[in-house]
Structure 1
Amino acid sequence: MLRVETNPETLAEIAKVVEAQEGPRNIRIYAERNGCSGQSLGLALDEVKETDFKHKLGEVNFVIDKELFRDLGDIKIEFVGNGYLVEPVVPVEKVEKAGSGCGGGCGGCGCGGH
């Protein structure tokens, strides 16, 4: 099952985003295959699907597709001032540059639509 590692500050920032939204209140961890730095992981608000694993941390419900979880394993998330660094807890060779593009030169990130 999915386990998300983070710190209290990051969890508080994510909770603020969730609280400010109407609609889906789950944070999806997903892979962008065509990011400017290769494949990267991101966060988005989304509904829970039958093909997901879930992990509740505080008041935040994280979800990830089971196939993606099989490739990556547990995830760590860190708030980095203008976005989130999202990466596997244990580096995975299958995922090239598995950090989030948040705050990079390619555009927005954070908890946007997916």
Structure 2
Amino acid sequence: MAVSIEELINEKEAIEAHKKRQYDVETSAGTFTMKPPSKSFVAEAMGLSEGSDEYLVYHCTVSPDLSDKKLQDAYGCVEPTDIVDRLLDPGEISAVAKKIMQCAGYGKDVRAELHEEVKN
């Protein structure tokens, strides 16, 4: 049975909180706290010809602050997203980006059932 309007209204706060949750991802550099990307951000990141995984990881990382000037300088970063390459293993970057997307619901398998037609 489909969810009712009343149920959706009653669950509004929980649904909104679910979309804003943060989560920890274990990396070779330590635990990173991530936030889910917005739809527009995902579209922007996927439009990049290269470096979309680094871009996604850089912008979705809440902690540690990858934009910190001392951190960027310590690792000799020219571009802000260079820090991702400096901290994480090459294959790990794509795995972290994939996990960010999964936690935001992308690639999620959803169950569907065919409604049977009612005959009169």
Give TM-score scaled by structure 2 length: 0.27
Q: Considering Cα pairs closer than 8 Å and 6+ residues apart, tell me whether 1 or 2 has the greater RCO.
A: 1
Give TM-score scaled by structure 1 length: 0.29
Which structure has more strand as a fraction of its residues? 1
Which structure has more helix as a fraction of its residues? 2
